[in-house]
Amino acid sequence: MAGLLPENAALLLIDASYLLVAFLFIMGLKAMSSPITARRGIVVAGLGMLIGTVMSFLYPGMGNFALMLAAIAVGGMLAWWSGKKVAMTDMPQMIALYNGMGGGAAAAIAAAELFRMVHAAPDSGSSHTPGVSSLAVAGAFIGSVSFSGSMIAFAKLQGLITKSVRFRGQQVFNLAIAAATLLLGAAIVVLVHPTGWQVVPFFMLALLLGVIMTLPIGGADMPVVISLYNALTGLAVGFEGFVLNNTAMIIAGVVVGSAGALLTQLMAKAMNRSLANVLFSNFGEGEVTAGEGVTGSLRSIEPSDAGIMLAFAEKVLVVPGYGMAVAQAQHKVWELCRLLIERGVNVRFAIHPVAGRMPGHMNVLLAEAGVPYDLIADLDEVNADFETADVAFVIGANDVVNPVARTDKSSPIYGMPILNADKARNTLVIKRGQGAGFSGIENHLFYLDNTRMVYGDAQKVASQLIQGVKAVG
């Protein structure tokens, strides 16, 4: 295959195809940022990937084609199979997993280059210039951290690791490991002909760094971390693109790096955290402060009465939370909402940026149930509407509707933007039991005079509500 075309013609053809690949990637990403064109976007980007992969077989002087095809088959098939069967609720950890694989691939490219430096004869002059080798080392560092860090993120979200490992002086320890890794990396560049004694420990330490950086971060903060590693993998790919003189990798890597950095910022903002705060403080789980005492009492309501309340409302805003997704209630809830819409009730879904396990996750879960995206409104669009809503219908959401975030400065969620469910005329809450929420903070909304609670499994309660609405006729 290598001899299929003269060398120059092959290189020209590959370069031209990479230009097309870069164009298709950027067009695809652009289309992906609007719900109307998003589907087309991923197909366009996929076409680019296909072209790039096929054309890369034409590189002159390559061998190992059988191994290459086997590796593509193994990696591709496992990913295809796992991607097809993963539940929508588990999407965040799947993205982390695939992202880690990309980081690992970038690190592998760097490893191949660095070991080539090790094996090059000291006087052959066939080694890299310091500029290229420092890019290789930088890519290796970032790619390795992204690889092992993403794997830990995956394990945590998948529930394989449930404890957050923390100890005194942890940050100093992490910093020391990072410094040692960078020092070894610098040594590799300076030595020009490093030995395995620098290269192997360098990779070990970089991989270790990813692990120890990610271990102390709580589950609630994981989306920001995954997004950050996504951007880092992009950067690592871009760096290795320089090393291999591969424009498709440079452009795609840098585009993803900068887009990912922006996306990370947006997500951190949506979660009311700064990036530094996510990485270096340990909120996200544990650390329960009682906050102000709650006055008032919880008032429960029969599902049949709740059904009547919904049926005779003019405007209902549904606030779904992860609790709804856990109970797999989104289909039933949508069935209920369709009934209400048929009765002429104005129904909309109000989505908090962090509803679900990552920003935008709830939209995916609702889309899976068949909810059209034009009935879904985000916090900024919908928050003023609560004042004119007859019923705010909270299903399995807790912290994102807790008014304490507006009032109680001592509360850990103080300052987080919330959905103003407490401003609606009535609030109906479906909740599994009487415990506190994910963060362990008491929700003052539940104690308000115009709030009614329905306890039980969200799916079952939704079915009862459907019966209730139907009974109204």
Partner 1 sequence: MMEGITALYIVMLAAFAGYEVIARVPVILHTPLMSGSNFVHGVVLVGAMVALGRADSLLGQVIGFLGVALGAGNAVGGYVVTERMLEMFKSTGHKPRQEQK
> Is residue 183 a contact point for partner 1 (CB under 8 A)?
no
Restricted to residues 374-413, the positions that interact with partner 1 (CB under 8 A) are 374-376, 378-379
CA-CA distances (angstroms) from residue 209 to 35, 120, 172, 190, 360? Answer: 37, 29, 12, 22, 29
Select the residue interacting with partner 1 from 218, 284, 307, 360 (CB under 8 A). Answer: 360
What's at 311, amino acid-wise? A
* Tokens describing residue 198: 């620098």
**Please, what is the minimum distance in Å from the beta carbon of residue 297 to partner 1?**
35
Residue 65 or 197 with smaller CB distance to partner 1: 65
Nearby residues of 93 by Cβ (< 8 Å), 6 or more positions away: 153, 154, 157, 158
Q: Strand 426-431 relative to strand 451-455: parallel, antiparallel, unpaired?
A: parallel
> Which is nearest to 248 in space by CA: 2, 1, 24, 38?
24
Question: Any alpha helices (H) in 86-129, and if so which ranges?
Answer: 91-119
DSSP class per residue in 435-453: S--TT----GGGGSTTEEE
Restricted to residues 225-264, the positions that interact with partner 1 (CB under 8 A) are 226-227, 230, 233-234, 237-238, 240-242, 244-260, 262-263
Residue 6 or 370 with smaller CB distance to partner 1: 370
Restricted to residues 312-331, the positions that interact with partner 1 (CB under 8 A) are 331
Restricted to residues 256-315, the positions that interact with partner 1 (CB under 8 A) are 256-260, 262-263, 266-267, 270
CA dist., res. 190 & res. 139, Å (int): 16
**Please, what is the minimum distance in Å from the beta carbon of residue 437 to partner 1?**
21
> Is residue 361 a contact point for partner 1 (CB under 8 A)?
yes
List the helix and strand counts (H, then E) for the chain. 17, 6
Select the residue interacting with partner 1 from 10, 89, 113, 444 (CB under 8 A). Answer: 113
Residue 65 or 312 with smaller CB distance to partner 1: 65
Residue 203 or 446 with smaller CB distance to partner 1: 203
Q: Is 46 helix (H, G, I), strand (E, B) or coil?
A: helix
Residue with tokens 């034409």: 58
> Which is nearest to 423 in space by CA: 393, 452, 392?
392
* Total length of the chain: 473
Residue 59 or 280 with smaller CB distance to partner 1: 59
**Please, what is the minimum distance in Å from the beta carbon of residue 367 to partner 1?**
4
What's at 226, amino acid-wise? I
| 289 class by beta-carbon count within 10 Å (0-12 exposed, 13-18 middle, 19+ buried) | exposed
Site size toward partner 1, by CB under 8 A: 126
CA dist., res. 375 & res. 317, Å (int): 10
Q: Which of 378, 385, 390, 399 is catalytic?
A: 399
**Please, what is the minimum distance in Å from the beta carbon of residue 442 to partner 1?**
27
CA dist., res. 124 & res. 408, Å (int): 69
Restricted to residues 44-103, the positions that interact with partner 1 (CB under 8 A) are 45-46, 49, 52-53, 56-57, 59, 61-65, 67-68, 70-80, 82-84, 86, 88, 91-92, 94-95, 97-99, 101-102
> Is residue 350 a contact point for partner 1 (CB under 8 A)?
no
Binding mask 20-49 for partner 1 (x = CB under 8 A): -x---xx-xxx-xxxxx-xx-xxx-xx--x
**Please, what is the minimum distance in Å from the beta carbon of residue 316 to partner 1?**
16
Residue 122 or 435 with smaller CB distance to partner 1: 122
**Contact criterion met (CB below 8 Å) for 304 and 467:** yes
Residue 212 or 259 with smaller CB distance to partner 1: 259
**Please, what is the minimum distance in Å from the beta carbon of residue 304 to partner 1?**
21
CA dist., res. 404 & res. 430, Å (int): 19
**Please, what is the minimum distance in Å from the beta carbon of residue 202 to partner 1?**
14
Strand boundaries in 408-473, DSSP class E:
426-431, 451-455
Whether 399 is catalytic is yes
Query: Which residues are known catalytic residues?
Result: 399
